[in-house]
């Protein structure tokens, strides 16, 4: 069976890996000249198997007027026409019941992903700076602590143990927290959460797949459209002709809708921009991954450097504010954790990427209404975390449809 995978981010690359393991011949097509060129390049690197909390929740609704008015510098929102239908769907997910259901659904996928990542690491010897660093989420208010306790209990029912630590216990675990400036009233600790470089992962996996002879990467090739014959997708159109196959898997991240909507398939994915800056460590850089919930920033230690990532901008595909937003990210991080990184280093790497967000925060890993057309997209804030399970699941759907 010949399968075309569209998109060579972390989702497309893992899909190709699992498809090839099931005996498929795979062609991965991406318009970029290298793998992991978009959202999978400079993300925070956290394999957040325990922190799958839905963004759409009742507490978020109360924040919206402030976000739209620009009072929270972790978010920028422009009420463009394309945001409205997505926003309405997002709001409909902001009930207690739906938030819990979405958190648990993603948690179950994340926990399977953790196991699959372990198996993949045992099987394939390549280096992508994987480290079981643990993760601390710092909570800024008693209301956050009450909500976190409820979520921790819910997760425990589904096999995921997290702990709520006092500030003293958190500092005992990660002493550099005492050099951070913001108060926190408690922290959620997840011991098993890991950190790794998703760009290095995609590059390493590609090199291995190149050697199997079963996977061909066609980079620098833009898919212009999907071609149908009746109810079946039969080919894709590239600038130099058509490529036909038995099945097609759309892993085009935030751009998936552009390919699917002409067929009448709307995945309801909004591009939510976030940013990162990677710096040499400062004199007091955390080893454990640290998320500051109030500021929507995270500190990850990847390959000896400190990556600070965060923010969520709803501006469509605009990149025009990148410079300002990265400056704000650095400013917020410097103020919060002045000794965590060398903020004035010349060798800093700044980056922005579009998270492919669905309204309910759940990825779409499914067959479409067309024969031969599959979706593995919409992984939002957790694509790196969920990649192994999603790649594994879509491969089985495509190659072993009886499952
Ligand atoms: C600031 C930030 C921090 C994040 N931190 C984390 C984290 O700590 N942990 C975590 O799990 N996740 C994190 N994420 C989310 C994660 O990065 C994404 O969910 C994930 O990378 C999505 O992968 P993808 O392969 O679906 O998309 P992408 O990596 O964007 O790949 C899509 C690919 O499709 C290609 N493509 C699109 N259209 C076409 C076309 N027409 N023809 C050919 N190719 C096409 C693109 O070139 C691209 O290479 C973060 C994201 C951001 C922005």
Query: Tokens representing 264?
Result: 């009448």
Number of residues in the chain? 403
Distance 11 CA to ligand 1 centre (A): 8
Binding site membership of 259 for ligand 1 (Cβ less than 6 Å): yes
- Cα–Cα distance for residue pair 44/22, rounded to 1 Å: 31
Q: Per-residue pLDDT for 95 more than 80?
A: yes
Q: Which residues contact 19 (CB under 8 A, 6 or more apart)?
A: 3, 5, 26, 249, 394, 395, 398, 399
Cα separation of 263 and 178, whole Å? 54
pLDDT of residue 79: 86
243 lines ligand 1 (CB under 6 A): no
The answer, yes or no, to whether any atom of ligand 1 lies below 6 A from the CB of 9, is yes
Instruction: Give the pLDDT confidence of 308-321 residue by residue, as tens digits.
Output: 999 999 999 999 99
Other CB atoms within 10 A of residue 97 CB: 8
pTM for this entry: 0.97
DSSP 178: G
Task: State both tokens at 246.
Answer: 């038995």
| pLDDT digits 0-9 by tens, 279-299 | 999 999 999 999 999 899 999
Region 162-188: mean pLDDT is 95
Residue 44 CA to ligand 1 center (angstroms) comes to: 12
* pLDDT at residue 403, as a whole number: 57
Query: Which of 86, 101, 128, 123 is closest to 270 using CA atoms?
Result: 86
Is it the case that residue 151 has pLDDT exceeding 90?
A: yes
Which atom number of ligand 1 is nearest to the Cα of residue 311?
1
Structural contact between residues 50 and 192, judged by C-beta atoms closer than 8 angstroms: yes
Minimal-distance CA residue to ligand 1 atom 37: 252
CA of 355 to the centre of ligand 1 (A): 6
Residues pairing with 249 in the sheet: 5, 374
Q: Percentage of the chain with pLDDT > 70?
A: 100
Percent of the chain scoring above 90 in pLDDT: 93
- pLDDT tens per residue, range 106-149: 999 999 999 999 999 999 989 999 999 999 999 999 999 999 99
Query: Binning pLDDT at 50, 70 and 90, where does residue 38 land?
Result: very high
pLDDT confidence tier of residue 155, bands split at 50, 70 and 90: very high
d(CA 83, CA 301): 34
Answer whether 10 contacts ligand 1 (Cβ < 6 A).
yes
Q: Of 179-188, 257-266, 333-342, where does mean pLDDT reach its minimum?
A: 179-188
pLDDT at 402: 62
Question: 246: closest CA among 234, 229, 260, 261?
Answer: 234
According to the model, what pLDDT value does residue 401 have?
72
Q: Which fold has domain 2-399?
A: FAD/NAD(P)-binding domain (3.50.50)
Instruction: With beta carbons less than 8 A apart as the criterion, state whether 31 and 220 touch.
Output: yes
CA 254, chain centre distance (Å): 11
Q: How high is the pLDDT of residue 292?
A: 95
Q: Is the CB of 32 under 6 A from ligand 1?
A: yes
Alpha-carbon distance of 374 to 141, in angstroms, equals: 43
Confidence at residue 68, expressed as pLDDT on a 0 to 100 scale? 87
> How far, in Å, CA of 254 to CA of 273, rounded?
10
Per-residue pLDDT reduced to its tens digit, 348-383: 999 999 999 999 999 999 999 999 999 999 999 999
Best residue for ligand 1 mutational test, from 355, 361, 389 (most atoms within 8 Å of Cβ): 355
Per-residue model confidence (pLDDT) at position 58: 93
C-alpha–C-alpha distance, residues 250 and 142, integer Å: 42
Q: What residues does each domain of the chain span?
A: 2-399
Cα-based distances in Å from 254 to 32, 269, 357, 396, 398: 14, 6, 7, 24, 22
Provide the pLDDT for residue 277: 98
Check residue 186 and give its pLDDT: 96
What CA–CA distance (Å, rounded) separates 205 from 128? Answer: 10
Distances (CA, A) of 401 to 18, 265, 375, 376: 14, 21, 14, 15
Q: Is the pLDDT of residue 324 over 60?
A: yes
Closest CA to 374 of 289, 239, 265, 297: 265
Cα–Cα dist 85/119, whole Å: 40
Q: What is the pLDDT of residues 193-251, one digit of tens each?
A: 999 999 999 999 999 999 999 999 999 999 999 999 999 999 999 999 999 999 999 99
Is residue 36 over pLDDT 90?
yes
Question: CA-to-CA distance for 252 and 17, rounded, in angstroms?
Answer: 16
Pocket probe for ligand 1: among 4, 6, 7, 196, the residue whose CB has the most ligand atoms within 8 Å is 7
- If you measure from the C-alpha of residue 253 to the centroid of ligand 1, how many angstroms do you get, rounded to a whole number? 5
Find out whether the beta carbon of 275 lies less than 6 Å from any atom of ligand 1: yes
> pLDDT averaged over the chain?
96
């Amino acid at each position: 069976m010949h399968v075309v995978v569209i998109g060579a981010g972390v989702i497309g690359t893992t899909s190709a890996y699992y498809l090839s393991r099931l005996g498929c011949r795979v062609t991965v097509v991406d318009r970029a000249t290298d793998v992991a060129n978009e959202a999978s390049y400079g993300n925070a690197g956290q394999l957040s198997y325990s922190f799958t909390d839905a963004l759409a929740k009742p507490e978020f609704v109360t924040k919206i007027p402030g976000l739209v008015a620009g009072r929270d510098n972790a978010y920028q929102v422009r009420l463009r026409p394309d945001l409205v239908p997505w926003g309405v769907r997002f709001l409909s997910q902001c009930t207690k019941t739906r938030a819990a259901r979405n958190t648990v659904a993603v948690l179950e996928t994340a926990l399977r992903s953790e196991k699959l990542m372990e198996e993949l690491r045992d099987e394939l010897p390549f280096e992508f700076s994987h480290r079981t660093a643990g993760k601390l989420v710092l909570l800024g208010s008693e209301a956050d602590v009450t909500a976190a306790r409820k979520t921790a209990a819910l997760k425990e029912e589904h096999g995921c143990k997290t702990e709520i630590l006092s500030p003293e216990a958190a500092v005992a675990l990660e002493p550099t927290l005492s050099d951070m400036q913001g108060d926190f009233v408690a922290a959620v600790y997840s011991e098993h959460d890991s950190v790794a470089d998703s760009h290095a992962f995609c590059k390493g996996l590609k090199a291995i797949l190149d050697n199997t002879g079963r996977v061909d990467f066609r980079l620098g090739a833009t898919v212009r459209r999907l071609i149908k014959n009746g109810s079946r997708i039969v080919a894709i159109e590239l600038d130099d002709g058509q490529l036909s196959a038995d099945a097609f898997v759309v892993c085009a991240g935030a751009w998936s809708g552009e390919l699917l909507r002409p067929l009448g398939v709307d995945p309801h994915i909004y591009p939510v921009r976030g940013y990162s800056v990677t710096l040499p460590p400062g004199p007091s850089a955390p080893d454990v991954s640290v998320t500051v919930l109030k500021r929507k920033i995270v500190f990850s230690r990847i390959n000896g450097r400190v990556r600070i990532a965060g923010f969520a901008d709803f501006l469509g595909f605009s990149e025009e504010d990148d410079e300002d937003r990265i400056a704000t990210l650095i400013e917020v991080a410097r103020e919060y954790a002045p000794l965590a990184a060398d903020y004035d280093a010349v060798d800093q790497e700044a980056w922005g990427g579009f998270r492919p967000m669905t309204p309910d925060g759940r990825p779409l890993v499914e067959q479409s209404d067309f024969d031969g057309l599959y979706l593995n997209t919409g992984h939002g804030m957790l694509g790196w975390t969920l990649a192994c399970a999603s790649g594994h699941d879509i491969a089985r759907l495509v190659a072993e449809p009886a499952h």
